[in-house]
Amino acid sequence: MSSRDTYDVAVIGYGPTGATAANLLGRMGLRVLVVERDPDVYSRARAISTDEEVMRVWQSIGLAERLQQDMLPDRPLTFVDTDGVPFIDLKVTSRGAGHPPQQFLYQPAVDQVLRDGVARFPAVEVLLEHECLRVVPKGDEVEVMMADLRTDTFTRVRASYVIAADGGSSPIRGQLGIGYSGRTYTERWVVVDTKKRKEWDGHDRLRFHCNPARPTVDCPTPLGHHRWEYPARTDEDEQTLLREEEIWKVLGAQGITPEHVEILRAVIYSHHVRVADRWRVGRVFLAGDAAHAMPPWIGQGMSAGVRDMANLCWKLEAVLRGRAPDALLDSYQAERKPHVTEVTRRACFVGRIITERNRFVVGLRNHGLRALLRLPGASAVVLKLSWIPDARYEAGFFAKGGSAVGWQIPQPWVFDDAGATVRLDDFLGGQWAVLHIGTPPAGTQAWAASGARAIKITEPTLVHWMRRKKAETVVVRPDGFVYAASQSGQTLPAPPFATSTRTGVPA
């Protein structure tokens, strides 16, 4: 084995989680190997929506604008009763991350753009049609054993760390003996992807048809696609359900005919609510569906995998460059798992609203929600409690004190050093920064010495946000979460390690 075969990180699986990791790590200039079993992007559409915070992560790898070209932003969200009359009509509102709050997408297109993005980084090597067989700890490295499926030959390489982004059935999770606790719903869902031929009323909005006889979701997806999802009844067999004439019966009930759409594919899925018992074993980390699975109702399965990578990759870089201790990596699970658990709870809650079968409860639900949502401000409260949870980690790698700590700062447009208008994250460049409203507090010098920039903030939304969080100064991590905060007259906690600028490759 030559030194060519030693990597900083081996990423197993090239779905959206693995491809996001490869971009993040590649941009940091790390040596990365991606191992993927399939020859190409998975052609079944699966994910159809994501949110502004995920777009912010993709912005950090220089791909947000390109991805957005293939997305549909901000479509309204309607829950309709059996007669097609809305009882919830909402528009997801911005939380200030600097992107449209909701984006509809076509997952194969997203996967392809993420993969194309990886080609910018010469230090990232991608092996398609290679199956990872085992990961074996070897001192301060991990040996990755894999098979080249084109030649039936076996190879071993070594990496300092491994990210197992190998999907819900994660062979690595199995090999490591990690439990995947939770349950799989017995209900089977038919997922129908279509190509739009002619528009119809409501074609441009996400609709949850809460009909107890056949709950159905229909959703616009970009690039001329449209998605329907509905559950199989217990007496319906899968072969029959997937026949075109059966699908047309369901679509026909909503007035959709072959004049409106062409059916591209129909697939049966079961939904899972599962989370891995451990997300780290030594130098191997589980991520994305390998670490968690949830029903799709609030569009967060893939999104959670992208958030995982935004959380883990900067920590891996700090440890690999010798700036931070390996123990920093334990905060990955501590921060991400509670957030994923809460997202999953909310996805299940929304799923219950959609799929309620009891006609008495359905009546109460429809009338109750209709009345509630007429109250001023109620929509915002409903969204806050049932949609994506706040961008906040309750515990993890944070200094003590201050109500801003653990929150992700908003992302307004700011002026850069040359006076150009840029998004805040592009200005900060994924580096640690001390942002202060007044004079820099005591302790700022130590942060500057460790490599973090100190920046006086005058941008009104950020100033307002900091004041609301009772912070005159915040120390922001590379992922935009507040590590430490201080009020006027307080001293900032000392930097936990050297935060100095990485030797990255600009994208």
Place of tokens 């709050």: 101
Nearer to ligand FAD, 126 or 428 (CB): 126
Q: Which of 245, 200, 203 is nearest to 222 (CA)?
A: 203
| Cβ neighbourhood burial of 16 (10 Å; 0-12, 13-18, 19+) | buried
Amino acid letter for position 328: L
493 contacts ligand FAD (rule: CB under 6 A): no
Q: Cα(507)–Cα(505) distance, rounded to whole angstroms?
A: 6
Considering only the stretches 40-48, 61-69, 376-384, 499-507, report the one whose residues sit in contact with ligand FAD under the rule CB under 6 A.
40-48
DSSP 8-state code for residue 143: E
Q: Which of 57, 72, 77, 191 binds ligand FAD (CB under 6 A)?
A: 191
Considering only the stretches 39-47, 71-79, 116-124, 249-257, report the one whose residues sit in contact with ligand FAD under the rule CB under 6 A.
39-47
Q: What is the footprint of ligand FAD within residues 111-140 (CB under 6 A)?
A: 131-132
Q: Cα(397)–Cα(164) distance, rounded to whole angstroms?
A: 22
Q: What is the footprint of ligand FAD within residues 403-442 (CB under 6 A)?
A: none
Q: Which of 215, 220, 231, 305 binds ligand FAD (CB under 6 A)?
A: 305
13 contacts ligand FAD (rule: CB under 6 A): yes
Nearer to ligand FAD, 49 or 254 (CB): 49
167 contacts ligand FAD (rule: CB under 6 A): yes
Nearest-approach distance from CB 229 to ligand FAD, in angstroms: 6
Nearer to ligand FAD, 50 or 366 (CB): 50
Nearer to ligand FAD, 31 or 271 (CB): 271
47 contacts ligand FAD (rule: CB under 6 A): yes
- Side by side, the strands of the sheet bearing 453-456 are 453-456, 433-436, 473-476, 482-486
Nearer to ligand FAD, 299 or 441 (CB): 299
Length of the chain, please? 507
Contact present, 221 and 264 (Cβ < 8 Å): no
50 contacts ligand FAD (rule: CB under 6 A): yes
Nearest-approach distance from CB 302 to ligand FAD, in angstroms: 3
Q: Which of 86, 108, 299, 406 binds ligand FAD (CB under 6 A)?
A: 299
42 contacts ligand FAD (rule: CB under 6 A): yes
Q: Which of 259, 313, 257 is nearest to 285 (CA)?
A: 313
Q: Which of 49, 78, 211, 499 binds ligand FAD (CB under 6 A)?
A: 49
Helix axes 52-60, 301-320, angle to 10 degrees: 40
Nearest-approach distance from CB 64 to ligand FAD, in angstroms: 16
Nearer to ligand FAD, 157 or 435 (CB): 157
Rg (CA), the chain: 24
Q: Cα(192)–Cα(226) distance, rounded to whole angstroms?
A: 8
Q: Which of 10, 16, 118, 465 binds ligand FAD (CB under 6 A)?
A: 16
Contact present, 224 and 195 (Cβ < 8 Å): yes
Q: Which of 27, 31, 46, 315 binds ligand FAD (CB under 6 A)?
A: 46
- Kindly state the tokens that stand for 69: 């070209």
Considering only the stretches 10-18, 22-30, 240-248, 418-426, report the one whose residues sit in contact with ligand FAD under the rule CB under 6 A.
10-18
109 contacts ligand FAD (rule: CB under 6 A): no
DSSP 8-state code for residue 31: -
Q: Which of 490, 487, 398, 404 is nearest to 442 (CA)?
A: 490
Nearer to ligand FAD, 59 or 473 (CB): 59
Nearer to ligand FAD, 71 or 414 (CB): 71
**How far, CA to CA in Å, does 187 sit from each of 81, 113, 233, 295?**
21, 33, 8, 12
Q: If DSSP states are collapsed to H, E and C, what string results for 426-439?
A: HHHCCCCEEEECCC
Q: Which of 26, 101, 117, 171 binds ligand FAD (CB under 6 A)?
A: 171
38 contacts ligand FAD (rule: CB under 6 A): yes
97 contacts ligand FAD (rule: CB under 6 A): no
DSSP 8-state code for residue 53: H
Convert 225-260 to b/e letters by CB count within 10 Å (16 or more is b). Answer: bbbbbbbbeeeeeeeebbeeeebeebbeebebeeeb
Nearest-approach distance from CB 220 to ligand FAD, in angstroms: 12
Residue 427 backbone class (left: φ over 0; alpha: ψ -120 to 50; beta: rest): alpha
Q: Which of 8, 52, 53, 166 binds ligand FAD (CB under 6 A)?
A: 166
Contact present, 493 and 432 (Cβ < 8 Å): no
108 contacts ligand FAD (rule: CB under 6 A): no
Q: Cα(161)–Cα(31) distance, rounded to whole angstroms?
A: 11
> Mask: binding to ligand FAD, 224-243, rule CB under 6 A, as x and -?
--------------------
301 contacts ligand FAD (rule: CB under 6 A): yes
269 contacts ligand FAD (rule: CB under 6 A): yes
Nearest-approach distance from CB 49 to ligand FAD, in angstroms: 4
Nearer to ligand FAD, 292 or 315 (CB): 292
Residues that bind ligand FAD (CB under 6 A): 12-18, 35-38, 42, 46-50, 107, 131-132, 165-167, 171, 191, 269, 288-289, 296, 299-303, 305
